[in-house]
Structure 1
Amino acid sequence: MAIWGKKKTTEPESREERKAGPIRRLWQKFRNIDWKNPVNRWKLLFVSLIGCIVIFGGGYGVLSLTNSPAFCSICHEMQPEHTSYTASSHNEISCVQCHVKPGMVNMVTHKVKSLKEVYYHVTGVPNQIVQTEEEAISNQNCLQCHSKNRLVTASGDLIVNHKGHINDGIPCITCHSGVVHAKMGAREINVAADRSKWTPENAQKLMEEKYLKPNMGTCIDCHDKVNKGEKPWKDVAYSVPPNPEEKKADTEKVKSSEGTDAAQAAHNKNTQDIILQAVGKQQKDVKVSMACETCHREIKVPKSHKIDDWKTNHGATAIQSLDTCMNCHQDSKWEKEIPKEDITTILKLGPQNSKYTPNVTVTKEEARTNKFCSACHSKRPPGHEQSNDWLTGHSVKASTPEAKAECFVCHDNAKPSPNSTDAKAPTDVYCQYCHRTGFKSDTKN
């Protein structure tokens, strides 16, 4: 008795039929079925239904399994990414909700492309997992949960027209690249040697708040380029953290090329121009205002800065409250680039919140290297303009150690050594160039 009913004939199979393979014999039996019989048609429908349930149900099960964050954590090379994900504010959604565009076609395409990850896992895991340009998270993913109508941040301080940015085609990740993984790729703390250190206990130390929030340096860099007529976000690479290996190669290329000093000087001048715009010292007709109050509601110029002689007498305040000054005047906040970090140092010392102790030397070093300070300190002060008068009359301005400390922001006492690691002075004029016999005993240093 066959599943489709009685055989029409009981004649023995011919020699040709016996020689045919099992698939061919099955096909011959299928063709011999009486499809005019409604019972056979119902049997076919039942078998087809069961087959669809098995195929599609199994496929859905495979998709659900591979879409789960737990599946991503199977591979040891993904430990940093999975640990940071579970410690982030986005740990209630799955990885694919961010990393795969909505739609079944995109999902299937992603699964096919992901087969290369299996190949890498078997043949040789890369030293560092980095995001590629084709894997950049799209605005479609973010807008599944977030509204583009937000005008201010949750804190209420930062004013950002999200809708305007999105309508201009600016990717969300241009500003929010660290919201889940704390920019670990750019910081180079997810390399092979560091993967085992990404434990739930260490996650809070490694995921510093400053790397989860938007980097002001990105905003500044983008606004500056817009004012120059550029649209940097049109290049996907602008929104994706640079591959550390490629960045190293570019750095070496720049170092080996001619005109490096000139390029660095031009970069520093551009940064200083931006700073002067931000503090309102340089105004010009621009598309996007660079002034701090354009984007920040709660940041205002402190009252102490509004006194008449603040420009010439703020040095003493800087010595006493340098840490407070650096809250706003830290030039690293104005840089788009994220520096490389050492994961062992982070875990050992934790976030650096050490209490500042007033120190003239530290203040001097900061004034020499900080682009905020050098924007003014690299220029000759008004009191120095009449060189002849100043040359013979400046001693009264440097009669005490405190007064000399202000001079030493720009000048060195002795000729600096070429191999010195100290911050370079803005000027090559030093005291002992003229005072070769030293100073009077009551006014040392």
Structure 2
Amino acid sequence: MAASSPQARIVAPQLGLAASCRAVLDALPSWFGIPESNDEYVSFVQTHPTWSAVDDKGAVIGVLAPMRHAASAEIYLIAVLPEWHRHGVGRSLVAAFEAAAAADGVRLLQVKTLGPSHPDEGYARTRSFYEALGYAPLEEFHDLWPDNPALIMVKPVLVATGEAAAVARTGAPITRAMVVAALRDAGLRRGSVAIVHSSLSRLGWVLGGGQAVVEALWEVTGTEGTIVMPSLSSDWSEPSRWQWPPVPEAWWQTIRHEMPAYDAALTPMTHMGEVVECFRHHPATVRSPHPADSFVANGPLAHQLLHPHALGSAFGAGSPLARLYECDAQIVLLGVGHGNSTSLHLAESRTRWASRHVIPYGTAMMVDGERRWVVYDDIDYDSDDFVALGAAFAAATGGETRVPLGAGEIIGCSMREIVDFGIGWLDATRQS
């Protein structure tokens, strides 16, 4: 039977590893044979946070000391006991260093090692090690170190996206129970009517994803509560105003003629996120009939809140938002801020500014059993100042609650209170 490979554990950066560092360097005379340089390394490790690898008894078997330079980070020192070479310890240390650097906003990684113009079998293996990890030779300098050429090797930081980014930013999995507790701390209660906006990625890694959040909302509000979420379909709109991305003018008429009619069950949402996508697919969830600016709801008040939803008042009088206001619904912002709060468009619709900013819209929908392109007028809604509005509301009234959750937070407030405040604030700040 083959012997099992020894296992090492990576320990987060800590100070005071001088003695351990010295022991590792002393075991590697072929790489670290200059006493003065070793003294500098040991002194640095003593006073700077340093990664370490330990065996199953907790003894240090390797170290990696990083050094930060503005937008780059350097592997200032890496050393692993010789008996632990080829066991993945060095790779694990570098991987931990790179993940932390990326999370800290580093854009470029670098390391200095002995250049190839000074033949050395050990350092040739070192360069091969770095190349295998994605580091490329940049330039060899002959005046950087006394007596020896220094090769600088670099590697760009690949910014993690999606689930990888969420894992990198989350200290521990966010569970459904944690979401439940945070929602209650933010003011949500059994029987609450709430409009919810969310971004899972900004919270971090949520165990169970959108399903866990939806179930947490239902657990808190119970069967007596009603949850509403925006389910906007921005592609079902006038193509001449598309921006992300714009389309050629030559396409506009084709889009108007051929865009399928809005179907509450089929029409996709645009960039609304995993939580809403999960929520809308529950059999008891209903969707409002507005082709571009619909809402979805689940609970005893769902139909009452979402119908009717007239074309010319997506977010104003007679809209689902207006009925949510009458219910004094709770606004719940999960991982997002007031800049994402659709509710503030209701305040916008009630300002003096709104009547002066009405524009034509267009969409594809069914009319008398036929698919038609319908043109209608509504406010030229603008959310650019909603972040400032939310900050002003919090400062003036103290009317919001912020609860940390994962890498983000939940914000809770009364829809009626912030809309009433927002009307006056927008009238005072929007001058044209």
TM-score, L = length of structure 2:
0.26
Larger radius of gyration: 1
Structure with the bigger percentage of strand: 2
TM-score, L = length of structure 1:
0.25
